[in-house]
Amino acid sequence: MITNEVEGSEVEIQGTKVQLLPITQVDPQQKGQLLQFFKEGYGERWISDANFQEVMIPNATEILEIEANGRLAAVLLFDHKRISDISVHPDFQGQGLGVKIFTEAARVKPDAWISVGVNAD
């Protein structure tokens, strides 16, 4: 269970499930669902579907997922030992899942590294 302070109220996320999958086990329909997930998580900062299909997924070697309350809540893509992309669904943003997925990534791949690009906004 994740508990966190969000704008003065306590938010509880129960029943989190963490799963690491090789990209080879993700079928085309699931890749389409991941595209939609990342698109929603990135919101107006989304670059393009083509970037997802031509760069993000082809370079991914594994996918780390967190389900919360029975729904996909956060996803992180590995490119071998590099954390390449992360998204938290808007319904779960601000509740500590970004920290949780990075913690899980460090647990399953302690030698992983990340290059960070941020939006100044």
Burial 41-79 (b: 16+ CB within 10 A, else e): bbeeeeeeeeebeeebbeebebbbbbebeeebbbbbbbb
24 pLDDT above the threshold of 60 = yes
Do 108 and 100 meet the contact criterion of CB atoms below 8 Å apart?
no
Instruction: For residue 37, name the pLDDT band (cuts at 50, 70, 90).
Output: very high
Contact yes or no for 56/42 (Cβ under 8 A): no
- Residue 10: pLDDT band by 50, 70, 90 thresholds? very low
**Residue type for 30, please?**
Q
What is the rounded average pLDDT of the residues 5-11? 34
User: Which among 57, 12, 68, 62 is positioned nearest to 33, based on CA atoms?
Assistant: 57
Average pLDDT, stretch 26-43? 96
Q: pLDDT at residue 5 above 80?
A: no
pLDDT tens for each residue of 87-96: 999 999 999 9
Residue 69's pLDDT band (cuts 50, 70, 90): confident
